[in-house]
Structure 1
Amino acid sequence: MLTQEEINKKMEEWPKHYDPKSIELKWQKIWLSQEFWEKVFRFKDEDTQSPTFVIDTPPPFTSGELHMGHAYWVSIADTIARFKRLQGYNVLLPQGWDTQGLPTELKVQYKLGIPKDNRELFLKKCIEWTEDMIKRMKEAMIRLGYRPEWERFEYRTYEEKYRRVIQKSLLQMFENGLIEMKEGPVYWCPKCETALAQSEVGYLEKEGILAYIRFPLKDGGDIIIATTRPELLGATQAVAVHPEDERYKNLIGKTVIVPVFNKEVKIIADKSVEKEFGTGAVMISTYGDPQDIKWQLMYNLPVTELLDEKGRMKNTNGLLDGLKVTEARKKMVEILKQQGYLVKVENIKHNVLSHTERSDCLSPIEFLTKKQIYIKTLPFKSQLLEEYKKMKFIPSRMSHYLEDWINSLEWDWNISRQRVYGTPLPFWYCDSGHLVPAKEEQLPVDPTKASPPVDKCPKCGLTLKPVTDVADVWIDSSVTVIYLTGFYTDKNRFSRTFPASLRLQGTDIIRTWLFYTFFRTLMLTGNIPFKEVLINGQVLGPDGTRMSKSKGNVVNPLDRVDEFGADAIRLTLLDARIGDDFPFKWETVKAKKLLLQKLWNAGRLSYPFIGKKKFEKPITLNVIDKWILAEHKRFIEKAISAYDNYDFYTVLESLYSYFWETIADEYLELIKHRLFEEDQSALYTLQRIFRDLLVILHPLAPHITEEMYSRLFGDKMSILLERIPDVSDIKEDPEILKLGEYIKKATSAIRTLKIQNQLSIISIINIKLVGPKEFIEKIKTVENDIKKTLKIESIEYQEGDEIKAELLSIVKK
């Protein structure tokens, strides 16, 4: 039998207080070691027996700041990868960096003052900026316990090996007739001076005006139109009204005079006109918004361009030329007022199409007529709407966002960007608009520096010119699955890893990263890119609204990581249903640290008895141990099922009820006396449930579980070399579980009794237990354990409907 002195001496080897900073930094360094990479974290190409699990993680844009959204998916990705390793999977967990984009160009251009005209210096500074941002973000990821395979599957979209895959995919799509150059209206950002794709624009509420303008009818009279874009008056090609609008039926087909510019246009009828907006009569200008483009194509209207690439007015007969849009709007209102055409002006708030995606810009966009390179998407809408159903969405409701986006597509994908820091489009072109692709052996290629593969255009014989535009950033990031699985480079790996097992991402990039990866992979491989798509919600500020610097509610995940620990932050982030938005509060992190401290305390209490020892299962188990094993079986099976469904919330919820309320508060107290007696049933059971508990908790809280595993067991170099617990040998016995419920009710009643009588927990008393007959019968089987645990000398029993304890006397010692 162990003495208290022996126990105390042993417990000195285990620090009383859990210090997350020292433990986490220790294990993060160990995990990054060569030995751990080779034995634990490496995707083993040579392993043809184990099932593979490939996670397509988001390559974040290199902003340099790891915000809470990053921390959330980093925690999800790492948790899933660790769990799958414990299940015996050969896991490929990559980490890429989406390096080429407007935000970096804007920082280099305006913050560093490097002009884009100095192309080589500009690109050099973009890469330097990118690498500095990556360094900062990577350090933050590692501090949160994230462990992808940095050694082989860290990639940057500007690197030659990745760029080769991007360009080869474009050549393949060109060969399949999916890429063409054509002229037409494009989304254009005057601030960034580049074309945009439909997915990069969105509506933002802005303040504006609604100008009511009198258009004279050629035959006499007038019609009042209301417009938010009076500066585009000179590009008016028609006035449209609803065919069923009684106010204007008699005017359909008549001619009106465009004020100021004295241009004659027709009044046409179209059902797209909103009768309730303004006056119900609108001017069709080329181009004020996407609806103008539809009307121009539908009615074959002329095109008048009034804006240049910098968003300045032109072709207005000198009236507005050279003015920015907002200035031109004000001046046109003044001109209309002076000439008697302005009826009134209303100040309004309205939705303005703006440059919203992956940009600090947020400026209103315009429509310019440009010759651009497109990937055909519209012909495949019906195919996409069928194929996406083959991917399992978690939660299932998120699939509708992708379906809605596919249904809303109105334009082919414009992939040309008038920028510098991007993947060169591997084409040359002639003045007739024919594209000539690079040869595969030229890749990666910059057409501005390389010679075309042929001297003249094969179709028309005209001189070839290099395409100077670079690719849309989503062209880069939409081949992540193609790159990781080795579609072009490693057929053996591709056969074992494609489709990828899982795509992780947020709701905000469903219409971009998810759609473009899905579309491109389907076109290139003929198959869906991944089997499952996990869509996480947004992490909100403590006030329950979306985090925003302007609101002052942004929380940096590293602000208090040394105080509370990365594990506590991870538990906080993962304690929500996947797909739901939730607020992040440090108070919650503090509570999670208390849970981990409770786990640490339980490990410290158990260490003297089970640390680095091996106990075989005895022939006969104590009834209390049978009960806790039955509870253990329920917890383990529920947790494994939850993990399999990426339901981390349920794992944590079960952990509280099983570990805190049952193991820590009840079981450990009940078996202390048997541990001192070196009871083999108690020692075996405690060791088994603790090993299983650490393994199950490890994916969520990897640092503390590695540390406790190494202290308590340590028979493997990492807990990740363990396997998910097998509880199939534990029998399900409803009677044993019912006994456990009665034990908890009895001990609760006795503790309450001591508190009510202002007695310490170590006070020795005589009591009466009241309860139903079945309760009394079952409690009698564990009476000795209850008496030793709660310092009771004798127990009398009395049948009754309500379970309670009554004080008979206090024993004086």
Structure 2
Amino acid sequence: MLSQEYVTKKMEEWPKHYNPAEIEPKWENLWLSKEYWEKVFRFDEKSNKPVFYIDTPPPFTSGELHMGHAYWVTIADAIARFKKLQGYNVLIPQGWDTQGLPTELKVQYKLGIPKENRELFLQKCIEWTNEMINRMKTAMIRLGYRPDWEDFEYKTYSPEYRKVIQKSLIDMYKMGIVKIKEGPVYWCPKCETAVAQSEVGYLEKEGVLVYIGFPLKAGGEIVIATTRPELLAATQAIVVNPTDERYKDLIGKTAIVPIFNKEVKIIADEAVEKDFGTGAVMVSTYGDPQDIKWKLKYNLPSTEIIDNKGRIKGTGILDGLTVPQAKQKMIEILKEKGYVRRIEKIKHNVLSHTERSDCLSPIEFLTKKQIYIDVLKFKDKLLEEYKKMQFKPSRMSYYLEEWIKSLEWDWNISRQRVYGTPLPFWYCDNNHLIPAKEEDLPVDPTKTKPPYEKCPYCGLPLKPVTDVADVWIDSSVTVIYLSGFYTNKERFAKAFPASLRLQGTDIIRTWLFYTFFRTLMLTGNVPFKQVLINGQVLGPDGSRMSKSKGNVVSPLERVNEFGADAIRMTLLDASIGEDFPFKWDNVRGKKLLLQKLWNASRLSYPFIHGKNISKPNDLHVLDKWILIKHKKFVKKAIEAYNSYDFYIIIDELYNYFWETVADEYLELIKYRLFNEDQSALYTLRRILKDIIILLHPIVPHITEEIYSRLFGDKISVLLEELPNVDDIEEDNEAEKIGDYVKKFNSMVRTSKIKNKMSIVTPVNVKLYASNEMIESIKKVENDVKITLKINSLEYIPSQDREEVIIEKYENQPMGV
């Protein structure tokens, strides 16, 4: 039998309070060590284990690890750790989306480096990028994230990655789907570059609807309503609905554009909304996507009056003004000349550069020579093939399907920037596109001679494509790059398609769609087997985090106070795909749960540490009961991990570990632990070790610390296997007895509290209960009497009454 003195002394070897600020960094440094990388975290190219490859997002290198980053980092790390325990050879990479306009703007305006000094500008962009990566990587590591940094960290500007980008573009060119053509493009005047359809969206803004009288050549007038009077000089036609009785006699007539005296035809098209404005609209090149459709459909001329910076040109009266300035001046001129019939203030949807939250500027349509990848002709194929990917939640597939259906433009991949992947092509004035030689990749056409002296198709001089690639061209080859499609056929055979794509809802139409499209075109297969779409982390007020709202919460703001594990647990305590608010009060609650785990482990330490405990021939009935509960927990937890329902595991942790193991079972077996009862020792060691292993993916720091102190069989929990509970036999009688004991214990404790007695106060107890409950308690009477400090226990059978009456030992009854 162990003495209280021995147990107390042993427990002093274990700190009473879990200190995450001290313990968590220790494990983060160990995980980064060479030993841990080689034995635990390295993707083993030679292993025969099945591969589980997670395609993680390469975040843009902003330098700030926001809560959205923290969320997917936590999900990715939890899945990777679980899959290691499950026996997979896990490939978890981490990349950096390094090239983009925000970095250019920082270098241009914050560092004061002009874009014209191209070499210095690019050098400073890379320096800035690497500084931002270091900041983000440090924050990721502090959250316990451990991808294979050593072999599978990548930067999209690196020569190795750039070579794959350019090779993929040349392969698509050889398929006949990469082309150069001139036409209207989505243009962001603030960013001074073309953008893709996936990067724009509608924002509701305040505006004006101006009713303008257009004189008719034959006499009279037609009144049109427009939100863009500044585009009058670019008007090519007036359109009315063919079923609109007001204008039937005017179809085919000629109108005069006010101020500019330009003659335009009145044409009929069913796309006109009769109830909007006057039901007559002007077609300008280009006010919106509908103008483009009408221009192409009716072969209208084109007049471009907006330059790259969003200023008016070629009108004589508005030149040099910004669009808002020109709008106001045009209204004043029209009023002065007597053409304005009325003006309404309205709220309307304005097409804007929504993919970049720090831009959100209105989009213009400019005519440019750009490089495109054909997408539209593959819509039917894409709508069929995407079904091969399993979505979690399943409803998220709808958003990909709807995006594919809504596509109206091929993919413009040219960007008028400096810091990006050079497009590996030259072209001639006849719009023949000439690719670089594959053996020369990666190339920059502005620095490299073309593969031919002149265009091999027409003999005209070749000019380099000076534009760089859309950033989604870079990040849409993550699967191709990491699986080794071009470079490592052995790995490709094992790792492709990727097991899992992990991402947020906000990049379904960009990263998800473009990776799906490009991989399908290049490999003939979908890029991933499963797609996990997480929701958004909201501010404490339940709205989207925004600096302007003041509700932004940094994941590292209080990490040393509460610990990364408590933050991880809070982030994972939500159903995948659902948006949820982040509150520090929830983190505080998770820390209390982890302290409970720490306390239970500390209590167990003197009894099970360093001891060889084998399974006895006969188990105590209460040990059988807890093992049955344990079996249910283990099976439910593994099932939840497999379906990525982490919140179920956390919920079960409260129900099973806190309420059953910590609050009931440990109290019931304390006296047997002191007596070194083999049944109790074996059961405690088994369930505690299983719990530590199963919780490790969610809370890796505290579980590594407890494992090393309590068991220490291996250098990491991750070298263990998932618990196997097949040997635990079902025993309805034992389960019934244990459940009644739990119920009885609660009744006695509640009665003591109501009577303002200490939990350790000795009492006499009368139990009014059914015969079944009484018989169950009798079988473990000694255990409950010792645990609850009961001197005498009297049983009173009752079919309609279930309660206890207690009295202090040697005193009068205290009541219920």
Structure-2-length-normalised TM-score? 0.98
2:69 matches 1:32: no
User: Is 83-92 or 103-112 further displaced after alignment?
Assistant: 103-112
- For 1:325 and 1:102, the matched residues in 2 are separated by 22
Give the match for residue 162 of structure 1: 161
Give the match for residue 270 of structure 1: 269
Q: Which amino acid aligns with 2:58?
A: P
Q: CA deviation at 1:249?
A: 2.3
Equivalence map 1:303-702=2 (5 Å): 303-316=302-315, 318-358=316-356, 360-702=358-700
Q: Which amino acid aligns with 1:519?
A: F
The DSSP-based 3-state class of the residue aligned with 1:655 is helix
- For 1:112 and 1:205, the matched residues in 2 are separated by 35
Q: CA deviation at 1:614?
A: 2.5
Q: What does the per-residue CA deviation read over 1:397-440, in whole Å, with 9 as the maximum and x for residues that have no partner?
A: 00000000000000000000010000000001001010110001
- For 2:362 and 2:175, the matched residues in 1 are separated by 35
Contact in 1 for aligned 2:761/2:808 (Cα 8 Å)? no
User: Is 342-351 or 516-525 further displaced after alignment?
Assistant: 342-351
Q: CA deviation at 1:251?
A: 2.0
Q: Which amino acid aligns with 2:711?
A: F
Distance 1:797 1:129, change over 3 A: same
Contact in 2 for aligned 1:145/1:703 (Cα 8 Å)? yes
Give the match for residue 4 of structure 2: 4
Q: CA deviation at 1:256?
A: 1.2
The DSSP-based 3-state class of the residue aligned with 1:25 is helix
Q: What does the per-residue CA deviation read over 1:308-339, in whole Å, with 9 as the maximum and x for residues that have no partner?
A: 111111121x1111211111111100110011
Q: Which amino acid aligns with 2:201?
A: G
The DSSP-based 3-state class of the residue aligned with 1:613 is coil
Q: CA deviation at 1:809?
A: 4.6
Contact in 2 for aligned 1:201/1:357 (Cα 8 Å)? yes
CA-based RMSD of the aligned residues comes to 1.1
Equivalence map 1:210-359=2 (5 Å): 210-316=209-315, 318-358=316-356
User: Is 339-348 or 325-334 further displaced after alignment?
Assistant: 339-348
- For 1:273 and 1:783, the matched residues in 2 are separated by 85
Q: What does the per-residue CA deviation read over 1:716-765, in whole Å, with 9 as the maximum and x for residues that have no partner?
A: 01000001100000112333322222111100000011112221111111
- For 2:250 and 2:772, the matched residues in 1 are separated by 90
The DSSP-based 3-state class of the residue aligned with 1:203 is strand
Q: What does the per-residue CA deviation read over 1:521-566, in whole Å, with 9 as the maximum and x for residues that have no partner?
A: 0000000000000000000000000000000000000000000000
Give the match for residue 209 of structure 1: 208
Q: Which amino acid aligns with 2:498?
A: A
Give the match for residue 17 of structure 2: 17
- For 1:715 and 1:25, the matched residues in 2 are separated by 22
Q: What does the per-residue CA deviation read over 1:556-601, in whole Å, with 9 as the maximum and x for residues that have no partner?
A: 0000000000000000000000000000000000000000000000
- For 1:581 and 1:250, the matched residues in 2 are separated by 55
Contact in 2 for aligned 1:478/1:516 (Cα 8 Å)? yes
2:55 matches 1:64: no
Contact in 1 for aligned 2:242/2:269 (Cα 8 Å)? yes
Contact in 2 for aligned 1:769/1:806 (Cα 8 Å)? yes
- For 1:102 and 1:343, the matched residues in 2 are separated by 43
Q: Which amino acid aligns with 1:36?
A: Y
Contact in 2 for aligned 1:103/1:359 (Cα 8 Å)? no
Q: What does the per-residue CA deviation read over 1:211-253, in whole Å, with 9 as the maximum and x for residues that have no partner?
A: 1111112222212111110000111111111222222223222
Distance 1:598 1:667, change over 3 A: same
- For 1:46 and 1:659, the matched residues in 2 are separated by 39
The DSSP-based 3-state class of the residue aligned with 1:5 is helix
2:162 matches 1:177: no
Contact in 2 for aligned 1:62/1:130 (Cα 8 Å)? yes
Give the match for residue 194 of structure 2: 195
- For 2:96 and 2:62, the matched residues in 1 are separated by 10
Q: What does the per-residue CA deviation read over 1:254-303, in whole Å, with 9 as the maximum and x for residues that have no partner?
A: 22111111111121221211222212211111100011001111111111
Give the match for residue 87 of structure 2: 88
Equivalence map 1:117-132=2 (5 Å): 117-132=116-131
The DSSP-based 3-state class of the residue aligned with 2:368 is strand
Equivalence map 1:85-124=2 (5 Å): 85-124=84-123
Q: What does the per-residue CA deviation read over 1:621-665, in whole Å, with 9 as the maximum and x for residues that have no partner?
A: 000000000000000000000000000011111111000000010
Q: Which amino acid aligns with 1:338?
A: E
Q: CA deviation at 1:153?
A: 0.3
Aligned length: 811
- For 1:387 and 1:370, the matched residues in 2 are separated by 33
Q: CA deviation at 1:370?
A: 0.7
Give the match for residue 47 of structure 1: 47
Q: What does the per-residue CA deviation read over 1:121-172, in whole Å, with 9 as the maximum and x for residues that have no partner?
A: 1101111110110010000000000000100100000000000000000011
Unmatched segments (≥5 aa) in structure 2: 812-816
Quote the sequence identity (%).
73
Contact in 1 for aligned 2:542/2:581 (Cα 8 Å)? yes
Distance 1:808 1:759, change over 3 A: closer
Q: CA deviation at 1:90?
A: 0.3
The DSSP-based 3-state class of the residue aligned with 1:185 is strand
Contact in 2 for aligned 1:218/1:256 (Cα 8 Å)? yes
- For 2:732 and 2:450, the matched residues in 1 are separated by 78
Contact in 1 for aligned 2:624/2:731 (Cα 8 Å)? no
- For 1:523 and 1:790, the matched residues in 2 are separated by 70
Give the match for residue 721 of structure 2: 723
Q: CA deviation at 1:513?
A: 0.1
Contact in 1 for aligned 2:791/2:809 (Cα 8 Å)? no
Q: What does the per-residue CA deviation read over 1:163-203, in whole Å, with 9 as the maximum and x for residues that have no partner?
A: 00000000110011110000100011111111111011111
The DSSP-based 3-state class of the residue aligned with 1:798 is strand
Q: CA deviation at 1:360?
A: 2.0
Structure-1-length-normalised TM-score? 0.99
Give the match for residue 814 of structure 2: none
User: Is 84-93 or 348-357 further displaced after alignment?
Assistant: 348-357
- For 2:381 and 2:810, the matched residues in 1 are separated by 82
2:811 matches 1:802: no
The DSSP-based 3-state class of the residue aligned with 2:71 is helix
- For 1:682 and 1:126, the matched residues in 2 are separated by 63
Contact in 1 for aligned 2:177/2:374 (Cα 8 Å)? yes
Q: Which amino acid aligns with 1:61?
A: F
